[in-house]
Amino acid sequence: MRKNFYLLVLLTGLMLSLTGCSKDDTSEVEFKVEGNWVFKKVNFLTEAAKWNDSIPYTSANLRNYAPYMFIPMSGMQFLAKEIKSGDNFLGRKMNYVNNHKESQFHPHPASMDVWYWNYTDDNKGFKISSIAPGFPSVAFDMTTDNVVIDANNPNIITFQTKVRSAKIGGEKDTYVVLPVEITMERGNAGDDMVVFIQGEPFNRLP
């Protein structure tokens, strides 16, 4: 009888141990966006993002055309500095990183506040806003939902969002909304990544 009792205690302890391990194995990785990120892929998901070749592909016509605006970008920085309007807290400082020194999209000096970020209400995504809406580009304001953390590498995230883009061939300051999927890896920005439109590489400069 005593042997059976000890055996029962041993089996109960083993089952509790396995249950605890199972819970640990399936626990979710907490999403934290603070820090530096490198763009791995920016893929516009709709036919509407493609350029209309009947329109001259010139710098003047490309203003605020989202796929083109992302070409020189290499990453994002989510910083801790508080951004305020008067006494009102807006969010924390955010920078886009760009390696093209000769480009009109050269990164702003670190002292210049252009964008700010916040977590979404459920802490599963983030929102990026420009301090002066529309400056320097409407393409870079975005809100994400349900950021997916890579199962094999918690430093890689993928999310879908929507950005505004100049309407190709439209009047000045007319826009369309384009869905886009972005993959980023935590780290310091390096070489430019390749922009895609519906899975096809797009790296076209005027």
pLDDT of residue 55: 92
The answer to whether residue 50 scores a pLDDT higher than 70 is yes
pTM, two decimal places? 0.79
Residue range 3-19: average pLDDT?
Answer: 48
Percent of the chain surpassing pLDDT 70: 75
pLDDT of residue 189: 60
Confidence of residue 109 (pLDDT cuts 50, 70, 90): low
Q: 3-state SS string over 27-78?
A: CCCCCCCCEEEEEEEEEECCHHHCCCCCCCCCCCCCCCCHHHHHCCEEEEEE
Q: How far from 154 is each of 32, 47, 73, 82, CA to CA, in Å? A: 10, 31, 23, 26
pLDDT of residue 105: 44
Helix (H, G, I), strand (E, B) or coil at 110: coil
Compute the mean pLDDT over every residue in the chain, rounded to the nearest whole number: 80
Of 47-51, 105-109, 125-129, the one with minimum mean pLDDT is 105-109
Confidence of residue 108 (pLDDT cuts 50, 70, 90): low
Confidence of residue 141 (pLDDT cuts 50, 70, 90): confident
pLDDT of residue 73: 84
